[in-house]
Every structure is written in C-alpha cells, then in structure tokens.
Structure 1
Amino acid sequence: MTVSFDFTGKTLLLTGAAGGIGREITALFYDAGANLVLLDMDDAALKDIAAGHDPAGERIAIMKMDSSSVADIDAALALAKDRFGGVDYLMPAAGIYPEQLVESMTDEQWRQVMTINLDGVFFLLKRALPIMRDGGAIVNFASLAGHRGSYGHSHYAATKAAIISLTKTLTLELGPRIRVNAISPGIIETRMTGDLLRTRGEQLVSSTPLGRNGQASEVATVSAFLCSTAASFVAGEVIHVNGGLFMAG
C-alpha cells in the first residue's frame, strides 16, 4: 500500500511503540519526515527500532516507559520538549489484552488493566497538553471491544469504551487548538491477538465482510490520515478499521 504524507518538522509522541501497530506507525511517520519520541516497556525493542530507522539518532528519541507511571510520563514529556521543542501529534497506543472471565477475575487483574489502558492514557493526555503545539492532533486507540464487548475481556472492553467517551469529551474541550479522534481496530494480526487468532481465527474471518484479518499497516495509515491536513475538519470521530466486522456483527 502506498500512501503519501508529509510530516516534516512535526513531532509524534507514541506509546506502545514496540507493538505491531506501533512499529508500523513509527515506520510511516519516520518515512514522512516526522521526529518521533518512542516509548515502551521493551527497551531492547525500542533500541532495535531506532537503530533500524535512524542510527544517528537525529529524529528518533526513545525511552523505556511504564504507561501507568506518572514519573515516567513526566520524564518522557521532558524528553520530547528537550529534543524537539514540543509535540504535534500524540498517540497513546500502549495497552494490554489479558483474558479472564468476570466470575474468576481478581480485583488486582481488573485494576491492572484499568491502570494501563485507561488511567495511563489520561495521565499522558493531561500532562502533554502544555507542550502540544497549536494545530496538533491526538489519536486515541479504542477497539471493536469498546463498542460490542468482548467475551473474557470485560476489563479491556470497559477501558476501550471509556476511551471512546474520553475522545469525544476532549474534542469539546480542546478544539479548535487540538483535534482529537480515535481508531477502533478490529482483528489485526499482531502479537497481542495471537491467542485469539489461534482459537477463533477462522470464525472471525468468516464473519468479516472483507474476508480477512487486518494488518497493522492498515491501522497506521488511518492514524496518519487523522494527523494530516487531509483530516483538518475531522474531530470527535471514532474510525472503525475492522473490515466490516462491526457492521456485520
């Protein structure tokens, strides 16, 4: 797929950068000229990603970050300001997707998902606003589960439904200075969905009008569109990237 964007001189801050979708977003934005602040718990993966794209370290800054840690978030934002003067595009893509039925879920399991998938997003968004430049864009990551629920993933689904509402509220509060939108991926072939694809892959493909699973690159291009001038009048939207599975379901 060939899609052209120009983000020269702009800076993207991305959490979950070592994940499947995060890697594709990194590659697309780097090729489009952006500076990147890449954050993830997997420090070794971040170093490999940065070395593969920007061995001189001119346009990529990396930091190991726990998305639930306010101290780590503050340090990451200080890095973005010191290296690139601020942030134009913000994408909190870090998240976890454990499986656990409600009846056997512990309070600690519920709280862990809430802390990483929701609290961490709020902590980052709130603290990033002072260093976000006018005309910037926030792209949040919801999920098909946030609209339909997900068997065995009530905590995950609940956080993603909250992200949808948070996106709409931020649109009201931050416009016209910053546009806020969200993406709801469906079944995307990444490490995170590996177990799901092994157990229900054929069923899910048969239920999807396009007859296949999605690729991480197909989410990345939508994230770039939402940051680009092509989406200059798009705000408060949740873009489904699921091959029609949401509609068909």
Structure 2
Amino acid sequence: MTYDFSNKTVLITGAAGGIGKECARLFLDDGAQLILVDLEPNALREVADALGAPERITTVAGDLTDQNVLNEVRATVEIAGGLDALVPAAGIYRDRDVESMSIQEWRQTMSINLDSVFQLTQAVLPHLHDHAAIVNFASLAGSRGSRNHAHYAATKAALVAFGRSLALEIGHRGIRVNAVAPGIIRTQMTDTLVTTNGELLLQQTPLGRHGTAQEVATVVTFLCSEAASFVNGELIQVNGGLYMTG
C-alpha cells in the first residue's frame, strides 16, 4: 500500500532506529520531504546515505532533551515551511525492577520517552499545517505493564493520554493525533527481550511470530495519510494479537 506524500514534509525522531528508519523509507518512497533526527550522528548519516534522495532529506543530530538541539529542529522546520506529519519515534527501553530503580534511571526514561515528545510537539505545534498528523509511539507495555520496565510502561501509557488530550485541543485545525502500540518487533532495542523471553512471547502471540519494523511503519504512514482522515485519538495495536493474551 502506498500513499501520496508529495509536497509534504515529515519529521521523524529516532530515525536511525529500526522502526524510525523504516518509517523514513516508506515516507520517502511515497514522495515526502524528510527531516530526520537522531542522537547518533554517524548512524543518522548512514541512514540518510542509504535512503538516497539527498535533496529531500535534512538531518539534525543531537539529544532532544537539549534545548539547543530543540531550537535547531524548530529552525529547520521553519526553513522547511512547516510540517505535515510528526512522528516522534525516539525512545529507550532499559531493564530495571522498581525496587532497585534509581531516581536517575526513572527520570532518564521519563525525559527521553515522554518529556522530549512534549517539548518537541510544543516547539513545532505553531508550524504544523492545518490537517497535519501526529503519530506517537505507545507500547503493549503501556496497556498491560511490563515486568522490570515500569518506567518505560509509564511513559508509554502517558503518551496515549497526552496524544488524546492534544487531539481535543487542536482538532479544530483538522490536525489528527494517534498512536501505535508495537509488540515484539525485531529491532536492536528488543534483542535482549527476544533472547530472554522470545519463546514465551511467541507462544502468547496468536500469529505465532514476532513483527517487523515495516509492519509498524505501514501503520504509521496510513495514520498520516488521507486514508485515515477521520481517525483521531486512536491507539492502534501492532503486535500480532499479543495484547489480548498473557
């Protein structure tokens, strides 16, 4: 399935990650201009080079919790003439049980997974075109909880509530805010989880397999397209039915 994003500008954070990179590829294939953001400059450069079409890709490397980086992203958006889609895909997933979790570990996850999404959204909101789309990244963990990932699960649940609240505030501009909730998607972020609990998770997944980054990215592009023009405030589960079991 392809959509027409010609003359549309899309901002993707976490663009060097497995899902972010695949989102960038699909949007580019469908004609979009891309602003790609990631913490790792070398990885970001490699992604941009691999995608090709340098005339349609602008990159910003840095930590979005840094105000200077946030200012650079906002300036880049202004130069681009605004945004038609915002996809904040950056995040971290660290193992730690609540009893031994330090306040620094809690705050780091909150800062990267939640605070940075709020700050980025607030920064670019005046530059979102009417009828634009925002797709946040929730998680199965945000609905069910996750052993040894309470901080991660809390941020993902909060992003759904944040997005729905935002949808109520900016719906009059025709801007839609939705979220996707991936399950076990084979990326570098989930390598440890798959290694330790992969077989159990496969048994609990009705489709009997793990997902791919492309299967998440296709839902993201759908939600940003005209095909989803009346989908708003929704959470789409992309986890092979795992959310129903366990």
TM class by shorter-chain length?
A: over 0.9
Question: CA–CA distance in 2 between the matches of 1:164 and 1:50?
Answer: 29
Query: What are the superposed Cα offsets for residues 96-141 of structure 1, whole Å, 9 maximum, x if unpaired?
Result: 0000011111110101000100100000011110111111000000
Where 1:206 maps in the other structure, the secondary structure is helix
The aligned counterpart of 2:110 is 114
Query: How big is the shift at 1:248?
Result: 2.1
Shift of 1:49: 1.4
Shift of 1:70: 2.5
CA distance in 2, matches of 1:21, 1:8: 22
Shift of 1:181: 0.3
Q: Which residues of structure 1 form unaligned runs of 5+?
A: none
Runs of 4+ in 1 over 2 A off after TM superposition: none
Aligned to 1:31: 29
Q: Which residue of 2 aligns with 1:133?
A: 129
1:244, distance to aligned residue in structure 2 (A): 0.3
C-alpha separation between the residues in 2 aligned to 1:233 and 1:70? 34
Structure 2, unpaired ranges of 5+: none
Separation in 1 of the partners of 2:166 and 2:108?
24
Q: What is the CA distance between 1:163 and its match in structure 2?
A: 0.4
Structure 2 letter corresponding to 1:190: T
1:98 aligns with 2:85: no
Kept in 1, the 8 Å contact 2:139–2:156? The answer is yes
Shift, 1:33, TM fit: 0.3
Q: How does 1:154-193 map to 2 (within 5 A)?
A: 154-177=150-173, 178-193=175-190
How far, CA to CA, are the matches of 2:65 and 2:198 in structure 1? Answer: 31
Match of 1:60 among 51, 57, 60: 57
Bigger CA drift: 172-181 or 233-242? 172-181
CA contact (8 A) 1:12 1:87 kept: yes
Matched residues, number: 245
CA distance in 1, matches of 2:16, 2:167: 28
* Partner Cα distance (2:240, 2:186) in 1: 13
Task: Give 1:219's aligned amino acid.
Answer: V
Deviations along 1:37-96, whole A, 9 cap, x unmatched?
0000111111111112235x21000011202122211211211221x2111100111100
Matched, 1:247 2:244: yes
Could you tell me whether the CA contact under 8 Å between 1:70 and 1:123 is conserved in 2? no
Give the structure-1-normalised TM-score: 0.96
Cα RMSD (Å): 0.9
Pairs within 5 Å for 1:68-83: 68-82=65-79
- Give the alignment partner of residue 12 of structure 1, picking from 10, 13, 18: 10
Q: CA deviation at 1:17?
A: 0.3
Partner of 1:58, secondary structure, is: helix
Percent identical: 54
What secondary structure, in the 3-state scheme, does the structure 2 residue paired with 1:68 have? coil
Q: Distance in 2 between matches of 1:193 and 1:95?
A: 12
1:176 partner SS: helix
